Amino acid sequence: MRALELKLVCKSYDGVAAIDQLSLVISQGCIYGLLGPNGAGKTTALRMMVGILMPDQGAVCIFDEPFERRHLKIIGYLPEERGLYRKAKVGELLLYLGELKGLPRSTTQRRIVELAERLGIGAALARRIEELSKGMEQKIQLIIAMINHPQLLILDEPFAGLDPLNSAMLVELLLDLKLAGRTILFSSHQMDRVEKLCDEICLINHGRSVLQGAVTELKARFGGRRVRLVYRGKAPFLNHDGSIVSRINDGNTVELRAGPEVNAQDLLRTVAAGATIISYETVEPSLEEIFIEAVGTHHGV
Q: Reading across the β-sheet that carries 276-282, which strands appear in turn?
A: 244-250, 253-258, 226-232, 276-282
CB neighbour list of residue 210: distance below 8 Å, 6 or more residues apart:
203, 204, 294, 295, 297, 298
pLDDT band at 300 (very low <50, low <70, confident <90, very high): very low
pLDDT band at 301 (very low <50, low <70, confident <90, very high): very low
pLDDT at 199: 96
Question: What percentage of the chain exceeds 90 in pLDDT?
Answer: 62
pLDDT at 191: 84
Pick the closest to residue 198 from 226, 158, 164 (CA basis): 158
Helix orientation angle between 134-146 and 105-118, rounded to the nearest 10 degrees: 140
Distance from C-alpha of 298 to C-alpha of 108, rounded to nearest angstrom: 46
Q: Where are the alpha helices (DSSP H) in the chain?
A: 42-49, 90-100, 105-118, 134-146, 164-179, 191-197, 215-223, 264-272, 287-299
CA angle 189, 191, 193 (to 5 degrees): 105
Distance from C-alpha of 162 to C-alpha of 149, rounded to nearest angstrom: 22
pTM for the full predicted model: 0.84
Q: What is the pLDDT of residues 89-145, one digit of tens each?
A: 999 999 999 999 989 999 999 999 999 999 999 999 999 999 999 999 999 999 999
Q: Which of 70-79, 223-232, 260-269 has the highest mean pLDDT?
A: 70-79
Q: Which residue has the higher pLDDT, 278 or 176?
A: 176
pLDDT at 214: 95
Pick the closest to residue 155 from 200, 119, 185, 190 (CA basis): 185
Under 8 Å between Cβ of 259 and 245: yes
Under 8 Å between Cβ of 122 and 143: no
What number is the average pLDDT over the span 39-68? 96
What number is the average pLDDT over the span 57-77? 96
Distance from C-alpha of 245 to C-alpha of 262, rounded to nearest angstrom: 11
Q: What is the pLDDT of residues 205-262, one digit of tens each?
A: 999 999 999 998 888 777 666 778 888 877 666 655 555 655 556 667 877 776 666 6
What number is the average pLDDT over the span 45-60? 97
Q: Which residue has the higher pLDDT, 40 or 268?
A: 40
What number is the average pLDDT over the span 259-266? 65
Please determine, for residue 154, whether its predicted confidence score (pLDDT) is greater than 70: yes
Under 8 Å between Cβ of 9 and 55: yes
pLDDT at 28: 96
pLDDT band at 272 (very low <50, low <70, confident <90, very high): confident
CB neighbour list of residue 189: distance below 8 Å, 6 or more residues apart:
157
What is the average pLDDT score of the chain? 88
Distance from C-alpha of 90 to C-alpha of 147, rounded to nearest angstrom: 14
Please determine, for residue 19, whether its predicted confidence score (pLDDT) is greater than 60: yes
* SS3 assignment, position 278: strand
Please determine, for residue 42, whether its predicted confidence score (pLDDT) is greater than 80: yes
Please determine, for residue 188, whether its predicted confidence score (pLDDT) is greater than 70: yes
pLDDT at 281: 80
pLDDT at 200: 96
- What's the chain's length in residues? 301
